Amino acid sequence: MGGGRYSLRFSNGNQFGSYERLANQWIRHLDLGYEHVVPADGDGIYMYDLKSGHRFYTDTGSFPYLYDSTLKTWLYYVPDKHNTGRYTADPRYFANMTTGQVFTM
């Protein structure tokens, strides 16, 4: 029950990446995996990350920075240095913007 594959680049040049629309506001992001996406005010979105169980917020001016409401801090989703326009996947690397710690999730 997919809705096609999309590739999104924000107006500021940040690449969100490729994703497939599924049913009931779910997407399968090529790098992040399964995300339940709910629009926020303005150009933001809330995402429930199925893999980690964490809830993220981001917007067009912030991505690849994600606010993790579970950890209560901003994370930087690390780009894949071997694949332009892609992010790390399996494992996914994030940098905690409060502590500077890089970790997988």
d(CA 16, CA 9): 6
The model's confidence at residue 2, banded by pLDDT at 50, 70 and 90, is low
Write down how long the chain is.
105
Full-model pTM: 0.88
Task: Sketch the domain layout of the chain as residue ranges.
Answer: 5-104
The dihedral built from the CA positions of residue 5, 9, 76 and 55, taken in this order, carries a sign that is: negative
d(CA 72, CA 54): 10
Mean pLDDT of 14-18: 83
Amino acid present at 18: S
Mean pLDDT of 55-75: 95
Q: Examine residue 39 and say whether the peptide bond preceding it is cis (omega within 30 degrees of 0).
A: no
Lookup: tokens for 25: 């506001």
